[in-house]
Structure 1
Amino acid sequence: MESQTEILKDLPLEDILGDRFGRYSKYIIQDRALPDARDGLKPVQRRILYAMHVEGNTADKGFRKAAKTVGNVIGNFHPHGDSSVYEAMVRMSQEWKMRNILIEMHGNNGSIDGDPPAAMRYTEARLSKISAELLRDIDKQTVDFIPNFDDTDQEPVVLPSRFPNLLVNGSTGISAGYATDIPPHNLGEIIDGVILRIENPHCTVDDLLKVIKGPDFPTGGIIQGFDGIKKAYETGKGKIIVRGKAEIESIRGGRKQIVITEIPYDVNKANLVKKIDEFRNDRKIEGISEVRDETDRTGLRIVIELKKDVDAQGILNFLYKNSDLQITYHFNMVAIHNRRPKLMNLPSLLDAYINHQKEVVKRRTKFDLKKAEERLHIVQGLIKAISILDEVIATIRKSKDKRDAKNNLMNRYEFTEPQSEAIVSLQLYRLTNTDITALKKEETELKKKINQLTKILSNEKQLLKVITQELNGIRKTYADDRKTTIEEKVEELKIGLEVLVPNEDVIVTVTKGGYIKRTTIRSYNASGWEEFGLKEDDRILASYEMTTIDVLLLFTNKGNYLYFPVHHIPEIRWKDVGQHVAGMIPIERDEQIVSAIPVKDFSSSQYLLFVTKNGLIKKTELSQYKAQRHSKPLIAINLKEDELLEVHLTSGREDLFLASYFGYGLRFNIDEINPIGVRAAGVKGINLKEGDFVVGGKFIRDKQSSLIVVSQRGAVKRMALDQFERMSRAKRGVVMFRELKNHAHRLVGFVFGKESDQVIIETDKKHQEIIPVDTLRLNDRYSNGSFFVDEKEDGTVIAIHKILTGPTKPNEEKDE
Structure 2
Amino acid sequence: MPRKKAETAVIDRTGYDEHMRDIVVSEVLTENYMPYAMSVIKSRALPEIDGFKPAHRKLLYTMYQMKLFDKKTKCANIVGQTMQYNPHGDSSIYETLVRLTEDNESLLTPLISSKGNFGKHYSRDMAYAAYRYTEAGFTKIAAELFEGINKNAVDMADNFDATKKEPVLLPTSFPNILAMPTLGIAVGMASNIASFNLKELCEATIEYIKDPKTDILDIMPGPDFSTGGDILFDRDEMDKIYRTGKGSIVVRSKYTVDKKNRRIEIREIPYSTTTEAIIENVISLCKSKRIMDIDDIRDDTDKNGLLITIEYKRSADPDEIMNKLYSLTPLQDTFSCNFTMLINNNPVVLGVYGILDEWIKFRTECIKRELTYDLEIFRKKLHLMEGLQKILLNIDKAIKIIRGTKLDKDVIPNLMKGFDIDKTQAEYITEIRLRNINEEWILDRTKEIEKIKEDIKKNETIISSDKALKKQIIKKLKEIANKEDYIKPRKTTINTEVKVEKVTVIEEVKNYDVKIIISEHGYVKKVPTSTYKEDTEYKLKDDDRILKIIDAQNIGEVLTFTDKGVVYKTKISDIEVCKAGEFGTFIRSAAEIPDDEKTVFITATGDFSGNMIVVFENGKVAKFPLNVYETKQNRKKLINAFYTNVKPVAFYHVLEDVNIKMKSDGGKLLIFNSEMINLKNSKTTQGTQVMKLPKETKILKSRIIEELDKKSSKIVVKSIPASGFSRKK
| Structure-1-length-normalised TM-score | 0.70
Q: 1:367 to 1:624 in 2, by over 3 A?
A: same
**Does 2:108 correspond to 1:99?**
yes
TM-aligned CA deviation for residue 360 of structure 1: 0.9
**Does 2:501 correspond to 1:491?**
yes
Residues in 1 aligned to 2:28 and 2:557: alpha-carbon distance in whole angstroms? 68
2:466 to 457, 460, 467: 460
1:46 to 27, 51, 57: 57
Q: 1:315 to 1:393 in 2, by over 3 A?
A: same
2:686 to 682, 695, 698: 682
Q: RMSD value over aligned CA atoms?
A: 4.7
Aligned residue in 2 for 1:780: none
* Percent identity of equivalent pairs: 29
Residues in 1 aligned to 2:254 and 2:142: alpha-carbon distance in whole angstroms? 30
TM-aligned CA deviation for residue 510 of structure 1: 6.9
**Does 2:444 correspond to 1:438?**
yes
Aligned residue in 1 for 2:130: 119
**Does 2:81 correspond to 1:72?**
yes
Aligned residue in 2 for 1:12: 23
Aligned residue in 1 for 2:542: none
Q: 1:12 to 1:593 in 2, by over 3 A?
A: closer
**Does 2:38 correspond to 1:33?**
no
Q: 1:177 to 1:594 in 2, by over 3 A?
A: closer
Q: 1:607 to 1:355 in 2, by over 3 A?
A: farther
Aligned residue in 2 for 1:551: 556
TM-aligned CA deviation for residue 637 of structure 1: 6.7
Aligned residue in 2 for 1:252: 260
1:599-625 CA distances to partner (integer Å, 9 max, x unpaired)? 27xxxxx99553437432143783534
Aligned residue in 2 for 1:732: 720
Q: Secondary structure at the match of 1:434?
A: helix
Letter in 2 for 1:188: K
Aligned residue in 1 for 2:197: 186
Letter in 1 for 2:241: A
TM-aligned CA deviation for residue 697 of structure 1: 10
TM-aligned CA deviation for residue 377 of structure 1: 3.6
Aligned residue in 2 for 1:161: 172
Residues in 1 aligned to 2:97 and 2:681: alpha-carbon distance in whole angstroms? 75
Aligned residue in 1 for 2:11: none
Residues in 2 aligned to 1:492 and 1:243: alpha-carbon distance in whole angstroms? 14
Unaligned stretches of 5+ in structure 1? Answer: 1-6, 524-530, 573-577, 601-605, 650-654, 699-707, 725-730, 745-816
- Between stretches 381-390 and 296-305, larger displacement belongs to 381-390
TM-aligned CA deviation for residue 276 of structure 1: 2.0
**Does 2:613 correspond to 1:610?**
yes
1:386-415 CA distances to partner (integer Å, 9 max, x unpaired)? 554444444434445654333333322344
- Confirm or deny: 8 A CA contact 1:518 1:570 kept in the other structure: no
Q: 1:622 to 1:427 in 2, by over 3 A?
A: farther
Aligned residue in 2 for 1:342: 348
Aligned residue in 1 for 2:649: 642
Aligned residue in 2 for 1:85: 93
Residues in 1 aligned to 2:249 and 2:727: alpha-carbon distance in whole angstroms? 82
Q: 1:611 to 1:24 in 2, by over 3 A?
A: closer
- Between stretches 437-446 and 345-354, larger displacement belongs to 437-446
Greater relative contact order (Cα < 8 A, sep 6+): 2
Residues in 2 aligned to 1:263 and 1:516: alpha-carbon distance in whole angstroms? 40
TM-aligned CA deviation for residue 171 of structure 1: 2.0
- Confirm or deny: 8 A CA contact 2:195 2:223 kept in the other structure: yes
1:501-553 CA distances to partner (integer Å, 9 max, x unpaired)? 24x6x555679999975547xx9xxxxxxx995789x9998768x7x5x4256
Residues in 2 aligned to 1:622 and 1:457: alpha-carbon distance in whole angstroms? 81
Letter in 1 for 2:322: L
Letter in 1 for 2:627: L
- Which residues in structure 2 correspond to 1:81-480 (within 5 Å)? 81-93=89-101, 96-112=105-121, 113-114=123-124, 115-201=126-212, 203=213, 207-224=215-232, 225-247=234-256, 249=257, 251-252=259-260, 255=262, 257-310=263-316, 312-382=318-388, 385-386=391-392, 388-400=394-406, 403-477=409-483, 478-480=486-488
Aligned residue in 1 for 2:8: none
TM-aligned CA deviation for residue 226 of structure 1: 3.3
Q: Secondary structure at the match of 1:622?
A: helix
Bigger CA radius of gyration: 1
Aligned residue in 2 for 1:583: 584
- Confirm or deny: 8 A CA contact 1:510 1:543 kept in the other structure: yes
Letter in 1 for 2:57: R
**Does 2:635 correspond to 1:624?**
no
Letter in 2 for 1:78: N
TM-aligned CA deviation for residue 240 of structure 1: 2.8
- Between stretches 228-237 and 467-476, larger displacement belongs to 228-237
TM-aligned CA deviation for residue 470 of structure 1: 1.3
Aligned residue in 1 for 2:541: none
Letter in 1 for 2:87: P
- Confirm or deny: 8 A CA contact 2:562 2:601 kept in the other structure: yes
TM-aligned CA deviation for residue 169 of structure 1: 0.7
TM-aligned CA deviation for residue 350 of structure 1: 1.5
- Confirm or deny: 8 A CA contact 1:241 1:328 kept in the other structure: yes
